[in-house]
């Protein structure tokens, strides 16, 4: 189903956001 492709793309976006958030938290810690 087309929904599966959307889910995969969403997962990739979430992974990117998680990486950005992780880097952000690491920078804040100093």
Task: Please indicate whether residue 22 or residue 4 has the higher confidence score (pLDDT).
Answer: 22
Over residues 1-18, mean pLDDT: 87
Q: How confident is the model at residue 6 (pLDDT cuts 50, 70, 90)?
A: confident
Over residues 15-22, mean pLDDT: 94
Q: What is the pTM of this model?
A: 0.56
C-alpha span between 4 and 24 (Å, rounded) = 30
Structural domain boundaries enclosing 10: 1-29
> What is the per-residue burial (b if ≥16 Cβ within 10 Å, else e) of 3-28?
eeeeeeeeeeeeeeeeeeeeeeeeee
Count how many domains the chain has: 1
Q: How confident is the model at residue 30 (pLDDT cuts 50, 70, 90)?
A: low
């Amino acid at each position: 189903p087309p929904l599966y492709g959307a889910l995969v793309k969403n997962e990739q976006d979430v992974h990117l956001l998680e990486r950005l958030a992780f880097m952000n938290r690491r920078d804040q810690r100093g």
